[in-house]
């Protein structure tokens, strides 16, 4: 049975040519991006917009246009990347390809918005919102899923938020130093300099949320510490927010060591992608092992992301889905 088509007219107020130009983009690229992604027809004359398509898609497109227009009110110049993030935020953004039947349009409530002094971060989509809620609810959380789903970014944002609210005293960002096809021994410098590139994504998130100078001062005072996992042995971490990134590259022994470092007043977030393990083939991932061991243990949150949660370039989402299909087909053939 064919889905009946719907139409909608919206008027964006106030009628401001600068804001409308930002909303539409260069040569209407933003409007075309929304129309193509949601399979709707969008036409406008000034601030009057006409939309036509499947009811859920029309509703989503109207909500996105309104939300984006409101965002231009403070002088923000919209980019295709920003439009893409708002499309990801709508739970019918891929309804035509994903076979979804949910006709609601969900935007983040104030309850899950992360506010820091430099930025305001809105979780995009159901899984990101669940992830933030879990981080605020449980002392230990796991964020599992492919690259580009915001696992590390949101964890760092929650850590900065907790620090600024004085809920914790320090932030520790931890990664296992595992060679992903490269040899550390051939890199120049001492151990710290060899490991530093592996921690760069964590630095980038901190700089975005706090600023370079602020991060440098906090690191000098040891309020923020970025360290390889091996440096955690023998320590007990109290009143801290600890993020273990790329946890799929830990061994079961390392993961147990890390989890038993957690002290009073400490929150831990463990992120990883179990499909990108860089350990030797005979070595089992500590993340995979731990998810099995802790299955059903109360007080631990687990959020599983999938390809629909990827907030990078739309092509990244399709690449992740293609790899998933290939792996399923390969397993079936065996």
Query: Model confidence over 86-145: pLDDT tens digits?
Result: 777 665 544 444 444 343 444 445 557 887 777 778 787 789 989 999 999 999 999 999
Both ends of the chain: CA-CA distance in Å? 38
How many whole angstroms separate alpha carbon 35 and alpha carbon 330? 35
Within 10 angstroms of residue 8's Cβ, the number of other Cβ atoms is 15
- What's the confidence (pLDDT) of residue 306? 85
pLDDT, tens digit (0-9, with 9 covering 90-100), for 86-98: 777 665 544 444 4
| 225 shares a domain with 82 | no
| 136 shares a domain with 17 | no
How many whole angstroms separate alpha carbon 195 and alpha carbon 175? 9
How many whole angstroms separate alpha carbon 137 and alpha carbon 303? 13
104 within a domain of the structure (yes/no): no
Strand boundaries in the chain, DSSP class E: 6-11, 41-45, 48-53, 114-115, 120-121, 140-144, 170-175, 224-228, 240-244, 267-272, 300-304
Name the domain boundary from 35, 70, 98: 98
- What's the confidence (pLDDT) of residue 93? 45
Q: Hey, which residues does 121 pair with through a beta bridge?
A: 114
| 195 shares a domain with 271 | yes
- What's the confidence (pLDDT) of residue 98? 40
Tell me 134's DSSP state: H
Q: How confident is residue 9, by pLDDT bands cut at 50, 70 and 90?
A: very high
How many whole angstroms separate alpha carbon 20 and alpha carbon 113? 26
4 within a domain of the structure (yes/no): no
| 81 shares a domain with 205 | no
70 within a domain of the structure (yes/no): yes
- What's the confidence (pLDDT) of residue 267? 94
How many whole angstroms separate alpha carbon 24 and alpha carbon 153? 28
How many whole angstroms separate alpha carbon 274 and alpha carbon 81? 27
How many whole angstroms separate alpha carbon 112 and alpha carbon 110? 5
**34: domain CATH number?**
3.30.1370.10
- What's the confidence (pLDDT) of residue 195? 60
**133: domain CATH number?**
3.40.50.300
pLDDT at 28 over 60: yes
| 207 shares a domain with 123 | yes
- What's the confidence (pLDDT) of residue 121? 82
Q: How confident is residue 301, by pLDDT bands cut at 50, 70 and 90?
A: very high
Predicted TM-score (pTM) of the model is: 0.64
Q: How confident is residue 259, by pLDDT bands cut at 50, 70 and 90?
A: very high
Range of the domain at 50: 9-98
Q: How confident is residue 334, by pLDDT bands cut at 50, 70 and 90?
A: low
| 271 shares a domain with 127 | yes
| 296 shares a domain with 165 | yes
| 158 shares a domain with 65 | no
Q: Give the H or E element holding residue 232.
A: none
Contact between 173 and 225 under an 8 Å Cβ cutoff? The reply is: yes
- What's the confidence (pLDDT) of residue 99? 40
């Amino acid at each position: 049975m064919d889905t009946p088509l719907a139409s909608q007219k919206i008027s964006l107020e106030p009628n401001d040519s600068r804001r409308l130009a930002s909303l539409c983009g260069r040569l209407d690229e933003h409007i075309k991006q929304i129309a193509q992604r949601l399979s709707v027809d969008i036409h406008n004359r000034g601030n009057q917009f006409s939309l036509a398509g499947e009811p859920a898609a029309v509703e989503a497109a109207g909500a996105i246009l309104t939300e984006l227009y409101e965002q231009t009110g403070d002088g923000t110049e919209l980019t295709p990347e920003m439009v893409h993030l708002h499309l990801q935020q709508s739970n019918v953004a891929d309804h035509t390809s994903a076979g979804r039947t949910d006709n609601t349009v969900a935007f983040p409530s104030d309850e899950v918005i992360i506010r820091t002094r430099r930025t305001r971060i809105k979780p995009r989509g159901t899984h990101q919102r669940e992830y933030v809620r879990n981080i605020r609810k449980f002392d230990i959380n796991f964020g599992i899923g492919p690259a580009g789903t915001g696992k590390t970014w949101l964890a760092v944002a929650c850590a900065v938020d907790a620090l600024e609210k004085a809920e914790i005293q320090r932030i520790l960002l931890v990664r296992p130093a595992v060679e992903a096809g490269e040899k550390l021994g051939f890199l120049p410098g001492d151990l710290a300099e060899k490991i530093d590139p592996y921690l760069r994504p964590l630095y980038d998130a901190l700089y975005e949320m706090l600023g370079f100078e602020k991060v440098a001062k906090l690191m000098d005072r040891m309020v923020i510490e970025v360290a390889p996992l091996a440096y955690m042995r023998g320590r007990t971490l109290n009143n801290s927010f600890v993020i273990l990134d790329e946890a799929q590259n830990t061994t079961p022994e390392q993961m147990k060591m890390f989890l038993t470092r957690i002290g009073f007043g400490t929150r831990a977030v463990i992120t990883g992608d179990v499909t990108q393990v860089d350990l030797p083939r005979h070595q089992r991932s500590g993340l995979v092992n731990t998810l099995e061991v802790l299955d059903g243990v109360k007080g631990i949150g687990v959020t599983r992301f999938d390809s629909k949660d990827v907030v990078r370039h739309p092509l990244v989402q399709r690449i992740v889905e293609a790899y998933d299909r290939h792996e399923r087909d390969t397993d079936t053939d065996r």
